[in-house]
Amino acid sequence: MVASSKFKSHAESVPELAEIIEHFLNGRYDEFDRCLQSIHAHLRFDTVLGTKLEKTLQQIKRKAIIQYVAPYKVVDLKQVGQAFHMNDADIEEEIAALILSKQIKGKIDSHQKLLYSFKEDQQVLTYRKALESGNRFMQDSKQMVLRSNQLAFAKVLESNEQP
C-alpha cells in the first residue's frame, strides 16, 4: 500500500500523514503517537472523518501496540505505556482488550506489570502441517487404489458376462 503511486501522491499532499506512517513503519512509537495526537485536533472537525475519528485513531493505536509487543515474549507494560504516552492502568486495559479479542496471545501479570506473550513454536507448526499433508496423501492414495480396484473388478465382470 505504501509503495503505490496513488498513496504516495496523497501522502505528499499531507506531509503529516507521511511522517506518521514513517514513524509507524520504523518502530518509533513515541514519535508516532505524538504526531497522531497533533493531527487529532485538525481531523476532529473534518466532515467525513470527524464522526469516526476516535474509533479510527483507537484502531490505529491498537495496531501499533500489537506491532510493538509482537517480537517479545515478556514486555514491561510501563515501557509500552511510555512509548504510547499512556498511564499504567490505561495500557493494561488496552492490552487486556487486545488479549480478549485474540489479537494478542498472552497474559498480564498485573502485580509486576508484565505481558507474557505466547508464541506458537514454528517447528511444531511445521511438523503439524507436514503430518496433515501426509495424512491427506495417504487418504487420497487409498481412494485411488479403491477406485482402480473397482474399475478392474468391473472389467472382470464384463468379461465373465460375455459368452
Q: Do the beta carbons of residue 68 and residue 83 sit within 8 Å?
A: yes
Q: Do the beta carbons of residue 129 and residue 135 sit within 8 Å?
A: no
**pTM (two decimals):** 0.63
pLDDT digits (tens, 9 = 90+) for 21-49: 888 888 888 888 888 888 777 777 777 77
What was the pLDDT predicted at 13? 64
What was the pLDDT predicted at 78? 93
Strands (E), 20-152: 74-76, 106-109, 114-117
106 forms bridges with which residues in the sheet? 117
Domain 5-117 belongs to what topology? Answer: Arc Repressor Mutant, subunit A (1.10.10)
pLDDT digits (tens, 9 = 90+) for 55-103: 888 888 899 899 889 888 999 999 999 888 889 899 999 999 999 999 9
